């Protein structure tokens, strides 16, 4: 079992660096003064922790919004708050940034309603560009549970199976709610943005999506 998990962890790490490479290429010609990281982890020791925000170049100010208490001096401003909650005018004013990044967070904020609120808040907090990454529900393996195919079942049945096999944490909607490409398109149906969805492949199938959005001014 340990070797099994190590194998998948190596794949996940490889995918994160591949996603980082795509994002850096897409942002190569953008002028970014400040960048906001959504869903920052307080775990700052692992190489892959907060990997995208840490590897951005020519950014003067870094900010964070997370449901964890972020104490890292890397961030000039940090707010402990769920991205799917309401933001007041002062919070928007302080944290609105040229670039807003959310890496593998949207599948962990709960219901579809919360996921839509999250995207609306990201758009509200974006001056120029936002980036959202998430795994593809239609990929044969869910890399959270390391189990193939059962996440293709209706979500209520999938959650019951996870609960029965001892994966109670991932059986709860607030902890794991996977999305496919159509879900993302429905959430991004906003006249104030332009966007593209980049597909990351693994073994011939799309394993991850990168949403790159521009706010229309």
Give average pLDDT by consecutive 10-residue segment, the chain, 217 residues.
57 80 90 96 74 89 96 94 97 98 97 98 98 97 94 98 97 98 97 96 94 93
Question: What is the predicted pLDDT for the residue at 63?
Answer: 98
Residue 114 shares a structural domain with residue 153: no
* 126 shares a domain with 87: yes
The confidence score (pLDDT) of residue 7 equals 64
Buried b (16+ CB within 10 A) or exposed e, 144-176: bbbbeeebeeeeeebbeebeeeebeebbeeebb
Phi, psi of 167 (to 5 degrees): -100, 60
The single residue listed with the structure tokens 């807003």 is 100
Burial of residue 102 (number of CB atoms within 10 Å: 0-12, 13-18, 19+)? buried
pTM: 0.92
CB 190 within 8 A of CB 118: no
Instruction: Output the six-digit token pair for 185.
Output: 């398109």
Look up the domain containing 166 and give its range. 142-178
What pLDDT is recorded for position 48?
65
Total domains in the fold of the chain: 2
Task: Return the pLDDT at 3.
Answer: 46
**CA separation for the pair 93, 90 (Å, rounded):** 5
Tell whether 94 and 157 lie within a shared domain: no
Q: How many residues does the chain have?
A: 217
Answer yes or no: do 21 and 97 share one domain.
yes
Residues 146 and 105 placed together within one structural domain of the fold: no
């Amino acid at each position: 079992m340990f070797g099994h998990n190590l194998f998948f962890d190596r794949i996940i790490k490889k995918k994160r660096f591949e996603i980082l490479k795509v994002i850096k290429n897409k942002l190569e010609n953008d002028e970014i003064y400040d960048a906001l990281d959504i869903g920052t982890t307080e775990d700052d020791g692992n190489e892959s922790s907060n990997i995208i925000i840490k590897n951005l170049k020519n950014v003067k100010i870094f900010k964070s919004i997370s449901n964890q208490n972020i104490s890292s001096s890397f961030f000039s401003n940090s707010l402990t708050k769920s991205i799917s909650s309401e933001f007041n005018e002062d919070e928007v004013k302080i944290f609105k940034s040229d670039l807003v990044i959310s890496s593998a967070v949207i599948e962990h904020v709960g219901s579809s309603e919360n996921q839509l609120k999250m995207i609306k808040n990201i758009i509200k907090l974006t001056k120029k560009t936002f980036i959202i990454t998430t795994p593809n529900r239609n990929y044969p393996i869910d890399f959270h549970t390391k189990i193939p195919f059962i996440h293709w079942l209706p979500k209520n049945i999938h959650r019951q199976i996870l609960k029965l096999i001892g994966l109670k944490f991932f059986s709860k909607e607030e902890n794991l709610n996977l999305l496919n490409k159509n879900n993302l398109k429905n959430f991004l149906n906003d006249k104030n943005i332009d966007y593209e969805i980049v597909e990351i492949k693994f073994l011939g199938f799309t394993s991850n999506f990168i949403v790159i959005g521009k706010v229309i001014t």
